[in-house]
Structures are given as C-alpha cells and as structure tokens.
Amino acid sequence: MLRRFCPICASERLSSRLPARLPRPAILACQDCGLWVSASGPSEAELDSLYLSDYHKSWGDEDVCDDAVSRMKRRTFANFFDRLAHHRTDSGRLLDIGCAFGASLAEGARRGWDVYGIEISPSAACVAQRQFGSRVACGDFRSLEVQEDFYDAVLMADVLEHFAEPVVVMRKVCSILRPSGLVAINVPCVDSLSARILGAHWPQLKAEHVFYPSRKSLELLLARTGFRVLSLDTSVKRLSLAYVARILGWYPVRILSPIAQFITTLLPRCVSELPLPLLSGEVLLMGQKAPAGNFVN
C-alpha cells in the first residue's frame, strides 16, 4: 500500500515534487520536512525475514567478529561515548538498541557504563550474549519490557531508520530514560553531501531502511517525543577501505562498488584494514529528555 503520511511530521504532501535524482516510485520525499521515505515497504514480515537470516554477514565473509572489524567498530563507538561524556560526567545505565555483536557494549563497559543491549538478529545477539549474558535481549525494541525512568543513556547507532513509526519508538525511548537522560542517534541523513551527490545511487538506500530523515525532521522528531536537541553534527565513522569495499559488494552501487573493490585489491592488508575517519552520509544527534510534559505535538 502506498504511504500517505510522512512518518515524522505527518504531512500528506509526499512526492508531489519528487526530486528527479530519486528512484521512482520506490522513494517519496516529504515536501514539508524534507525526509525521504520508502513508498510502500518494506513490510514487517519482510523485515523480520531479513533479520532472521545472517543479517550482519556483510560485515565479513567468514568471521563477522574478527579482530579487525571489532577494533574498527569500537573506534567508532569510542567517538559516540566521548560525545555522551561531553554531556554527562558520570556514567550510569546504558541501553544500546541494535547492539549487534556487542562492540558498543564492550567499549561502554570499558568506560564504566552499566551496559545493556537489545538486538533483533538472533545470530548477532547470540554472539553478544556470550560476553554479556542476560544483559543482551534478542528481539524487537518495541516489544521490550523495561521499567520507566530506568536508563541514564540510550544509544541508537544505525537503527532508527529501520522503524516505520519513529515517533512511537522515540516516545518509548523517552519513557525508559531517567529525567535529563541522554540519547545518541547515528542515522543516515538526506542533507549529507553523499546523498546530495549520489541521489539514487546513495549507498544508504537499502530495502531495510524505511525512511531517511533530514536535519529538520530529526529536530522535529525529538521535539515531538519529549527531548531537547543538544547537538546535531555530521557523523565521522572509523571505517577501513576493506570494510567499505565489502559493504559495497553486499549492497552493490553502480561504478562505486567495482572501484572500491579494485582499490582494495591493490593495497596491502595492513593498509586496507586500517580504520580511517570517513564520512558515511550520516549525522550524530544528541538529545536530552526534557522536563515532563514538555512535548510539541
């Protein structure tokens, strides 16, 4: 069924002036907040079947938890935890929604956070549970039972765009945070340079990404769900060229994929596996739970 409303601002003005660079009719653009949204899918059943398979296999062919990938992921998460520390001097309870194999939890625990995670992919959750036991739940955050005002911080790295109802999800995130609790959201952004240049060939356009927010829509989302925006910046991830080539092999992009794979084959492994600070078309949004009742509808 064709989508009729923007999932964040609820505008019905979708696709009336669709930018020519977007694939039609797969993506619609909201004329009010600038967000892009998948026109008709994916359905919950399609998403479930995707996550039930080896969803994180794109991280590596054989051992998705190999040392190089783990080190690279932890360097990226170190940046996210630095940002949390900028707004909060002491650590506390932290929930990572979409914790995958637990690299974020390992980095958080090293910094003194009391870490918890939830992961929808059973194969990834199983790996994280080996290290963190019952602190990692396998399932969908929307059905996770957790008491209100429990966590001091919530991390959402590369997960918000997988939910069809971001307002519902963020209101739940707000409810489980203590007063003044923090949320760190890393998400693809349509205002990024790569989205503007690559358009229909933007590597972030994936079947499992339901929507792609603009900066304006992210600010609106937090205001509507009980948060105030602390910062909204271009996200810099630590990514190796070998990892980028692997992802572009898994999610093929015309011209870009063969170029990345060719360059990687020319480089010695010690260079191709080196984590470099790269822009990936994403933003890092930091929010703080606002005083009760401070919602914008």
Tell me the pairing of strands 227-239 and 276-289: antiparallel
Q: What would the two tokens of residue 189 be?
A: 């952004």
Q: What character string, x for contact with Zn ion (CB under 5 A) and - otherwise, covers 110-129? A: --------------------
Closest of 103, 100, 91 to residue 151, by C-alpha = 91
| Closest approach of Zn ion to the CB of residue 216, in Å | 8
Q: Which is nearer to Zn ion, 36 or 55 (CB)?
A: 36
CA–CA distance, 262 with 159 (Å, rounded to integer)? 30
Sign of CA dihedral 162, 117, 141, 61: positive
CA–CA distance, 236 with 148 (Å, rounded to integer)? 32
Alpha carbon 214 to chain centroid distance?
A: 14
Helix (H, G, I), strand (E, B) or coil at 62: coil
Q: Which is nearer to Zn ion, 32 or 66 (CB)?
A: 32
Site for Zn ion in 6-65 (CB under 5 A): 6, 9, 11, 30, 32-33, 35
What is the chain's Cα-based Rg?
A: 19
Contact 147, 93 (CB under 8 A): no
| Closest approach of Zn ion to the CB of residue 16, in Å | 12
| Closest approach of Zn ion to the CB of residue 75, in Å | 34
| Closest approach of Zn ion to the CB of residue 186, in Å | 21
Q: Which is nearer to Zn ion, 203 or 213 (CB)?
A: 213
| Closest approach of Zn ion to the CB of residue 7, in Å | 8
Q: Which is nearer to Zn ion, 66 or 191 (CB)?
A: 191
Residue 171, C-beta contacts closer than 8 angstroms, at least 6 positions apart = 225, 226
Q: Which is nearer to Zn ion, 28 or 118 (CB)?
A: 28
Does residue number 218 form part of the binding site for Zn ion (CB under 5 A)? no
Q: What would the two tokens of residue 246 be?
A: 């692997």
Q: Which is nearer to Zn ion, 33 or 285 (CB)?
A: 33
| Closest approach of Zn ion to the CB of residue 282, in Å | 19
Q: Which is nearer to Zn ion, 34 or 287 (CB)?
A: 34
Site for Zn ion in 152-211 (CB under 5 A): none
Q: What is the DSSP string of 113-161?
A: -EEEEEES-HHHHHHHHHHHGGGEEES-GGG----TT-EEEEEEES-GG
Residues that bind Zn ion (rule: CB under 5 A) add up to a total of 7
| Closest approach of Zn ion to the CB of residue 9, in Å | 3
The region of 1-9, 16-24, 106-114, 129-137 touching Zn ion under the rule CB under 5 A is 1-9
The region of 3-11, 74-82, 119-127, 192-200 touching Zn ion under the rule CB under 5 A is 3-11
The edge-to-edge listing of strands for the beta sheet with 211-212 is 27-29, 36-38, 211-212
| Closest approach of Zn ion to the CB of residue 35, in Å | 5
Element (H, E) at 228: strand 227-239
**Interface with Zn ion (CB under 5 A):** 6, 9, 11, 30, 32-33, 35
